[in-house]
Amino acid sequence: MKKQYINGQWCDAVGGGIWKVQNPATEEFIAEVPYGDDRDCIQAIAAAERAFDSWKKLTGWERGALLRRVADLIRSYAETFARETTLECGKPLREAVGEWQVAADLFEWYGEEAKRAYGRVIPAKRSDRRMQVILEPMGVVGIITAWNFPAYNPARACAAALAAGCTVVCKGSEYTPLSSMNLFRALHEAGLPPGVANLVNGDAARIGAALLEQDAVRKISFTGSTRVGKLLMDGASRTVKRLALELGGNAPVLIFDDVDVAAVARTAVSGRFRNAGQVCNIPQRFYVAENIYEDFLNITSTHAQQLRVGNGLEEGVAMGPLINRRQQQHVLQLLDLAEQQGASLLCGGQTLEKGFFVTPAVVADRSGAVVFRQQEIFGPVLPVIPFNTLDEALRQANDTPYGLAAYVWTQNLKRAYVAAEGLRFGMIGVNEWAPHATEAPFGGWKQSGLGHESGSEGMLEYMEKKLITINLS
């Protein structure tokens, strides 16, 4: 059933709107889904508000059991769901299957965490007072997510908010509605009570405005661009809504000359071109010690040219297309700008006859093009910049408005610590290309966001603290 899901029912858009889902690898239209607006969203908020009291009153054990059932269902449908994810967003099937497995992990983990919403007892100054802080779910939560991880992004926020005892109104990206509709199929089949989890699809600005304006919505969890995150921050002031913002990134990588250059360069290529570079915390700018700079460039260029680019459903394809024509044009324009700023394209950066492809590009960037530091590339481009000292590398790495993730590669423990502590980013990978996990907090500094998802921090973000003081005199 590929529809919106409101109050336990699959439904069309109030205004009858339809959205055609396009396969970015073939440019073919593959499905039609309802395309709603604020009217659908207001119905969903009302359903979530009605469901809140009884969902909140369930124990963490009871909510947890339902969430773990969602995890089991996702695992049983993972292959089918992943095919549709690949069809609508282009990533290789293997990556899509992995994404659905992590979505299942999130529901399993939060199904357990629901039991652990501990409060605190405070030893009071006065002997006749008793004080405790308890945690309570905030209420209705609006969840707006991006297309790059169309299963993981909504799963991450929904699992944590539902575990906390909140009810949700979720809007996936209009480019990838099939994945969020599949996620809600699992929620529906798991037996969540009507209204607890609702899904709308449609006009982003009107749905966003409805979530911002309705008092019943106490928090908006947003995964997407810094541009839209700022719009939501402005709007949230009207009803003093809480916000969780998981925004863009621009992750630097520091590679020192004590590493095995060939091994790091090879894994850098798979790390950089995952999901065609459309990952918020993916390594973006590679600062490489001067004396291994040429070797690193040669090896990454060789491996990048060997990556098989194509339709993610085909066996052996390592990289798919970008999500749409606009994103393809954005990446090509950034490459042009970087060349004007002194960088040279060593390989890739080409389009294919059909589909929104850009082939994996490696760029020698001796002078450190400003565009790669100030903008999120969100595409398959690997710029390499030489450095001579740790201080110089740190200064360049930190010179960005973003602060999501950063990476350090070295065999020297002291260097690893000094670099990790000097980088102004929320997540640091040391000799690791994936510094995140279901059980650990995920969040950005500076213009990369507010708050954390995942881990125990992720659930606490959806809970209010309440102080209860008892007078025994």
Quick one: which of 145, 221, 275, 300 contacts ligand NAD (CB under 6 A)? Answer: 145
Task: Provide the pairing of β-strand 361-364 with 344-347.
Answer: antiparallel
Q: Rounded to the nearest whole angstrom, what is the least distance from the CB of residue 227 to ligand NAD in the complex?
A: 6
Q: Rank residues 208 and 348 by Cβ distance to ligand NAD and give the closer one.
A: 208
Residues touching ligand NAD, count (CB under 6 A): 28
Cα–Cα distance measured from residue 208 to residue 252, given in angstroms and rounded to the nearest whole number: 32
x/- contact string, 102-141, with ligand NAD (CB under 6 A)? ----------------------------------------
Of 128-136, 166-174, 283-291, 348-356: span binding ligand NAD (CB under 6 A): 166-174
> How far, in Å, CA of 423 to CA of 410, rounded?
15
Q: Does 77 engage in binding with ligand NAD (CB under 6 A)?
A: no
Give SS3 for 132.
strand
Q: What angle do CA 108, 109, 113 make, to 5 degrees?
A: 120
In the list 111, 208, 380, 455, the residue contacting ligand NAD (rule: CB under 6 A) is 208
Q: Is 153 in the site for ligand NAD (CB under 6 A)?
A: yes
- Please state the closest distance from residue 244 (CB atom) to ligand NAD, in A: 10
Q: Would you say 64 and 50 are in contact if contact means Cβ atoms under 8 Å apart?
A: no
434 lines the binding site for ligand NAD (CB under 6 A): no
Q: Assess 225 for contact with ligand NAD (CB under 6 A).
A: yes
Task: Choose between 73 and 232: whose C-beta lies nearer to ligand NAD.
Answer: 232
Q: Give least dist CB 345 to ligand NAD, A.
A: 23
Closest CB 187 distance from ligand NAD, rounded Å: 18
The answer to whether the Cα torsion of 441, 445, 449, 451 is positive or negative is positive
Taking the CA atoms of the chain, what radius of gyration do you get in angstroms? 23
Answer yes or no whether residue 402 interacts with ligand NAD by CB under 6 A.
Answer: no
Residue 377's nearest CA partner among 334, 430, 411 is: 334
Applying CB under 6 A, among 114, 280, 416, 427 the residue interacting with ligand NAD is: 280
| Terminal Cα distance for the chain, rounded | 61
Interface with ligand NAD, residue 204, by CB under 6 A:
yes
Interface with ligand NAD includes 246 (CB under 6 A)?
yes
Place of tokens 């070295």: 410
Cβ proximity to ligand NAD, 37 vs 165, nearer residue: 37
* Closer CB to ligand NAD, 87 or 264, in the complex: 87
| DSSP secondary structure, 144-178, as one string | E--SSSTTHHHHHHHHHHHHHT-EEEEE--TT-HH
Query: Alpha-carbon distance 378 to 148, whole Å?
Result: 10
Min. distance of Cβ 18 from ligand NAD in angstroms?
Answer: 16
Q: Are 442 and 435 in contact (CB under 8 A)?
A: no
Contact 102, 183 (CB under 8 A): no
Task: Give min distance, CB of 455 to ligand NAD, in A.
Answer: 13
Q: How far apart are CA 100 and CA 75, in angstroms?
A: 7
Q: Which of 223, 359, 410, 454 binds ligand NAD (CB under 6 A)?
A: 223
Among 34, 150, 444, 455, binds ligand NAD (CB under 6 A): 444
Active-site residues: which are they?
Answer: 246, 280
- 12, 72, 136, 174: which one binds ligand NAD (CB under 6 A): 174
Q: Pick from 6, 146, 406, 419: which binds ligand NAD (CB under 6 A)? A: 146
Per CB under 6 A, which region of 185-193, 245-253, 259-267, 287-295 contacts ligand NAD? Answer: 245-253
Q: Residue 66: which residues within 8 A CB-CB, separation 6 or more?
A: 111, 190, 191, 192
The tokens 């449908």 sit on which residue? 77
Which residues is 140 bridged to in the sheet? 167, 217
Q: Of the ranges 73-81, 185-193, 201-209, 255-263, which one interacts with ligand NAD (CB under 6 A)? A: 201-209
Q: How far apart are CA 24 and CA 325, in angstroms?
A: 8
Distance CA 111, CA 217 (A): 23
Residue nearest to ligand NAD (CB): 208
- Site residues for ligand NAD per CB under 6 A: 144-149, 153, 171, 173-174, 204-205, 208, 223-225, 228, 231, 246-249, 280, 376, 378, 404, 444, 449
